[in-house]
Amino acid sequence: MVLVLGVSAGASGARAVLAHSDRPHHEPLARCEIRRRPGSAIGEPVISAIRTLRATAVEQAELVSATAVTLRTGIDPEVVEFATPATTRVHVRVLPETSAQLRYLRFTGQLPRRGSVVLYDVGGSGLSVCVADAPTGEVLTARRSAVVGGDQLDRLLQDHLAASGVRLELTACRDLKEQLAFERVVTAADPGTGATVVVTNNDLAVLTREGVMHSVSLLRTMIRESHSTPSAVVLLGGGGQVAALRHWLETFLRLPVVLPAEPASVAGRGAVLLAAATAAGSTLPRW
């Protein structure tokens, strides 16, 4: 059992978890989320997250044995590798996010034993979706799309509220959206006028329907290209908590949808497993 650091990076920033190699599914020893500053490089929040949690390890008189950074499809791994100081670069592995997600889902028993599976990963800037062979982890086909994303849903919610006379900043709309992951009804209040409006999960369902329909059309094409028959869809990413996404995917695809606990943390926890393999000297999948 060693202490390892797993980092997942996307266009909106980085999430990191510090955990023992055999306990990626438990509450980590420490975690952090670093949002990307407008105009900054993608590598910046990654390095900030690594430094933050390595400092935490030092405070606890612990040593981080290895670090794995996973990146979304379409992000050049060099954006992290070039940003990593030469003195620590040898201890950092940069790997595809899907490798980490599949590794963790297999570890927790949430992958089917045979056939393929769809990973439907809703990040801040858009959707990453892939069809992968469940037993081997081979990615059969993958796409990136802007039809569904956390930032896009925040803007749709902002416009919906404005039409009812309540004007809010995007950050406030994001907070409301996240609140609706745990409550069926929330009240939005305009800080300037005091006007209020009730927002429900049904409202989010209406706002997400069109985007999910477009993504399902894309998915059906990808499934044909993969020459496989998926047995499940796994909903991942920060947007995975939006109940309407699960509803529409089950409705349109007629496949069971698996929602892991803390779907936004699956990649980071999978990175912990990949980092542990690095520490043990195991061979990891190449980019």
Q: Under a CB-based contact definition with an 8 Å cutoff, are residues 152 and 159 in contact?
A: no
Domain boundaries, given as residue ranges, for the chain: 3-102+265-280, 109-148+206-263, 150-202
Q: What letter does residue 179 receive in the DSSP assignment? A: H
Q: Under a CB-based contact definition with an 8 Å cutoff, are residues 57 and 28 in contact?
A: no
Partnered with residue 188 across adjacent β-strands are 197
CB atoms near residue 119 (< 10 Å): 23
Tell me what pLDDT residue 234 has.
Answer: 96
CATH number given to 109-148+206-263: 3.30.420.40
- pLDDT by residue (tens digit) across 118-174? 999 998 888 999 999 999 989 999 999 988 998 999 999 999 999 999 999 999 999
Tell me what pLDDT residue 86 has.
Answer: 45
The architecture (CATH level 2) of 3-102+265-280 comes to 2-Layer Sandwich (3.30)
Q: Under a CB-based contact definition with an 8 Å cutoff, are residues 198 and 185 in contact?
A: yes
The share of the chain scoring above pLDDT 70, in percent, equals 90
Fold matches, 3-102+265-280 and 109-148+206-263: yes
Q: How many CA atoms, within 13 angstroms, populate the side-chain half-sphere of residue 157? A: 33
- The three-class DSSP label of residue 237 is coil
Q: Under a CB-based contact definition with an 8 Å cutoff, are residues 18 and 53 in contact?
A: yes
- pLDDT by residue (tens digit) across 195-237? 999 999 999 999 999 999 999 999 999 999 999 999 999 999 9
- pLDDT by residue (tens digit) across 65-104? 889 998 875 555 565 655 555 444 446 788 888 999 999 9
Give me 145's structure tokens: 């799309």
Backbone angles phi, psi at 15, to 5 degrees: -120, 140
